[in-house]
Structures are given as structure tokens and as C-alpha cells.
Chain A
Amino acid sequence: MRDVAVIGIGCTPFGEKWGSSFRDLFVQAGTMALEDAGVAGEEIGAMYVGNMSAGRFIEQEHVGALIADYAGLASDHIASTRVEAACASGGLSFRQAFIAVASGIEDIVVAAGVEKMTDVGTGASVDALAGAADREWEGFVGATFPGLYAMIATDYMNRYPLTREQLAEVAVKNHYNGARNPIAQFSQEITIETVLSSSLVADPLRLFDCSPITDGAAAVVLAPLERAREYTDTPVRVLASAQASDTIALHDRRDISTLDATVAAGKRAFAMAGLSPGDIDLVEVHDCFTIAEICAIEDLGFCRKGEAGRLTAEGVTALGGDLPVNTSGGLKACGHPVGATGIKQVCEVVQQLRGEAGRRQVDGARIGMTHNVGGTGATVAVHILGV
């Protein structure tokens, strides 16, 4: 297996992009990534694109070929593949690209993610997102996606000492970070009161516990490490790539409040990199809801079960804390264009490791992690990057 490096990144601003189409967004991110890498289109051997539900959101399937075409690569006939694992589509796209380069089959590979969610109304998008869970036995009876995470929160708060205020601290922190990220959907800082006075979506989760509906795209360029310096002075190595699965329905899990797929993927990633949680300088976790960030910090092994709420309230996971979590603003504040999220996480970690994160820079960051979840934890991708 060859060592692999990220040599270029690109990410569109996230938000409700009424003026941009699915393909506009992708082309914008892809062009930025290729410019950043100094790679010409004809050098690309393959492309992977993470996308959850273009079929539901814009009535378009076959998006692998579509994006290759509109990226101007139709006449090069490159291998272009769509990867789908609900909200983990981007993380899996990155992993597929990593495997293609590491195996020696391809040299220069683009891993992308894109979602155009605002061409349908809120009801239709809530319904599409419910497809990330078990349509037949969860969605059919009226389970929404926030509702499933709310049931995790109810179970968690019944068993561990997590207060409603501590849960709100996750959103407050991520909005603080998002306000320092120029691509973030939300640029406003919020207070605990903002969260607690927002409307209930699914008890105990309120509107400000939830990530928004977002349009956006992100792309990164991968190359064999031995060739990376032909393109960039700041290659970022992929130290580990791991993926795990679990039951599709939340009700079939061993433990409602533990994402066993996160535990498994985290362990595999640390083993592959020869590292432990104490070696990680920053982590982008999948905070589709505030409770999801609490579970992720624990399930990845950064602390024991039941401690993440207190650590968040104490500022351990804030910028300047011992373990900055979601410096991009996370899904909560940066936004969550479902298929693009896993790639955006990689873009954020690469920016941090290059020292290019501006007002949200983590001083001396050398090793970062990304954690991308599909559904309520049926798929998890974890990557470790380092310089």
C-alpha cells in the first residue's frame, strides 16, 4: 500500500444558494481544488463524488457522469463514481479515493461531495433525510431524523449527567467557530439563551440543536505521497482511513446512546495510524445534532461515557482548549449539505494543518481527525491526517 497525501482542497460557501445549481456548486468546488493543487484536468485518473439524494432533491441520478461532464472532463473519459451512504457519503467518497491511490491503481484522484437541498421545500427535505434511517420501520411510523437523535438524547440524559445547558454549549461553541469561518452558513455567535428559547423540534432537541438544510460542495485532490511535492509544498498525509457499519434502525442497536460504528471505526483508525486519542490536535466530528457531538467525542475515545457535556461546558473542546472540536463550525454552524460534509471536514483539517485557518487557527496543529456519520450511526467513516 502506498502513502497518500492531500495536495489540494476547495469548498464553496455553504448556505441557501438560490442562485446556484447542483452542477454550479460542484464545478466551483472542483475548480478551486484543482487550482489549489496545481493539477491539470487531464492528469486526473478518477473521481468519486459523495451525494446522498440528488434523486429526491433535484430529481437527478447518475451524478458521477454528470459532474465529470460539467467539470470539463467528458472527453478524457475518466472513471467517475457516485458514492452514497446518507450523511456519510462524503467520508466514504474520500475513503474510496484514498483506496484508489493507495492501491496503486490511480495516481491523481479527486474526492468530492455535493448536495443541493433547497430546490425542494422543508417537508420534502425532511422526508428525504428520513431515508437515511429505516424507511420501512422508522420513517413509516412517523420517525423524523431529528426525532431519532432526540430519542438518543432522551436515553442519554436519563443515564448520564448531561444537562440541557451543557447540550446547548455545543451549539454555542460551534456558532462561535462558524463566525470565524468565511464559508460558514451562519456567521452569528449565539448564547445558551438563543438555544433554549428556540422552538422545540423533537423533545428535548430545539431548533438550535439541529444542523440546517444547506447547499454546498467540497472537493479535495489526492496523490501518492512520493509525487505530492511535485504539486505542493504543503502536502498533508492521510495517516488512517477507517469505515464501519451497524444496524440501519436505531431500535436495533446494542446501546441507544453509543454509536458502535464510531467506536469500531475510531479504533481501526487509531490502530492504522499507530496513534491514540491523546495524539490528536483537533477533530471535526459529525454534529448533525448537539447530542451527536457529545456521543462522538466519547465514542471516539477522547473521554469516558458521560463526560463530554461537562468537558464542553469547561471549554476543553473550544478553540484554545485541549481538544478543539469542530473548528469549522461543524455541521451546526458551517452547514450540512449532506453529501459534501465529509469532504468539507477534510478541507477544514487540511487548512488547520497547513496553518491557513485564519481566526480559527489551532496553534501548532500537526494531526487532525475527521468523523462522518451516516444515518443514526449505521455508517461511520473516520480519517486521520497529519503533517
Chain B
Amino acid sequence: MSVARFWRKIPQRYNLTGTRCATCGRYFFPPRYLCPDCRRAGKIGEHRFSGMGKVVTYTVIRTASEQFEQMTPYVLAIVELDEGPRLTAQLVCSPDEVRIGMRVRPVFRRISADGESGVIHYGTKFAPENP
């Protein structure tokens, strides 16, 4: 992933900055700038999510793509934020620990790197709320 492509998403990846439609009140993460419900009648503004949420579903990745091969096995989940939107993220916990419905909190972590001397990508993973 090029530097520019990663850099422009830093607010979202580091701070969970998404969007909200003031017309219908729906929250979006990953951010959307066109509300699917209100379309052109929607009024989109930024919203910073607390990152608190729960696990909707999960898996343990054993065979990964090249960038993630060194991290296997790792837990991958769909997390539902308390405001409603869902996102895909890694969980910082052991494969035995994860459960559907488990409460989670955000943690700032290294996600991947472009080779040994390339750009390091940081972002948000999630950890059990009550360790």
C-alpha cells in the first residue's frame, strides 16, 4: 500500500473517525460520504467513535496473505460498535478466548509492514473489554 493511500486514511485508522448522517441519525464506519438511506438529502458530518463494541462473528486465520504470514494464527472478527456500524478487525486475544457477543475495546497496534524496510502501517485492533 502506497504512503499516500495509507496516510489519507490515518484519522479513520488511528482514531476511528467515521461519519454520521444528521438527516436520519445513522452512523458510518468505515466512513461514507453518501448516506444510503437519504442519498442526496443526507447531511454528512464527522463522528469520532468511542470504539467500544462487541464481537458479531470471528475466525482464526491460519493461512494468511504475504504481509500477515508472520502473525498467524491471529483472530479476525466483525465488531459492532455501540453506535451501530460494523467493521472488520483483528482481536488482541488468544483463539480460545474469543466468543460471539464478547465486549471489546479499541487498542492502537501495528497492523502490517511493507517488507523489512518499508512503511509500517498502524491502526486499530480490539481487545477484550474485561481482560
Name A's B-contacting residues (CB within 8 A): 123-124, 126-127, 130, 134, 136-144, 146-147, 150-155, 158, 199-205, 249-252, 256
Contacts and interface: CB of A to CB of B under 8 A. Distances in A.
Contact of B1 (A137, A140, A143, A151): A140
B62 interface: yes
Given A127-B66, A147-B59, A154 B100 contact: yes
Nearest to B68: A142
Contacts of B71: 142
B88 interface: yes
B64 A144 contact: yes
A150 B111 contact: no
Contact of A141 (B58, B62, B63, B89): B89
A126 B63 contact: yes
A151 B63 contact: no
A137 B87 contact: yes
A378 to B, nearest CB: 14
Given A249-B88, A251-B86, A140 B121 contact: yes
B107 to A, nearest CB: 13
A199 B60 CA distance: 13
Interface in B41-68: 56-68
A154 B100 CA distance: 9
Ranked nearest first, the 3 interchain pairs of A and B with the lowest CB-CB distance are: A150-B59, A123-B66, A155-B57
A151 B77 contact: yes
Interface in B86-131: 86-90, 95, 100, 111-112, 121, 123, 125
B84 to A, nearest CB: 11
A136 B111 CA distance: 13
B11 interface: no
B69 interface: yes
Nearest to A201: B63
Given A142-B76, A147-B76, A252-B86, A203 B59 contact: yes
Q: Is the interface of B mostly helix, strand, loop or mixed?
A: strand
A124 B123 contact: no
Contacts of B59: 147, 150-151, 153-154, 202-205
A137 B30 contact: yes
A140 B67 CA distance: 10
A123 B69 contact: yes
A154 B56 CA distance: 10
Contacts of A252: 86
Contacts of B89: 141
B57 A200 contact: no
A142 B57 contact: no
Contacts of A143: 61, 76, 88
B78 interface: yes
A353 B88 CA distance: 43
Contacts of B111: 140-142
B66 to A, nearest CB: 4
A189 B78 CA distance: 35
Contacts of A158: 57, 100
B74 interface: yes
B86 A142 contact: no
Interface in B1-59: 1, 9, 30, 56-59
Contacts of B112: 140, 142
Given A137-B30, A143-B88, 13 more contacts: A123-B65, A140-B123, A141-B76, A142-B64, A142-B68, A142-B71, A144-B61, A153-B59, A199-B62, A200-B60, A204-B59, A205-B59, A249-B88
Contacts of A127: 65-67
A203 B57 contact: no
Contact of A142 (B9, B56, B74): B74
A202 B1 CA distance: 24
B81 to A, nearest CB: 11
Given A140-B111, A256-B56, A256-B57, A251 B88 contact: yes
B57 A151 contact: yes
B16 to A, nearest CB: 12
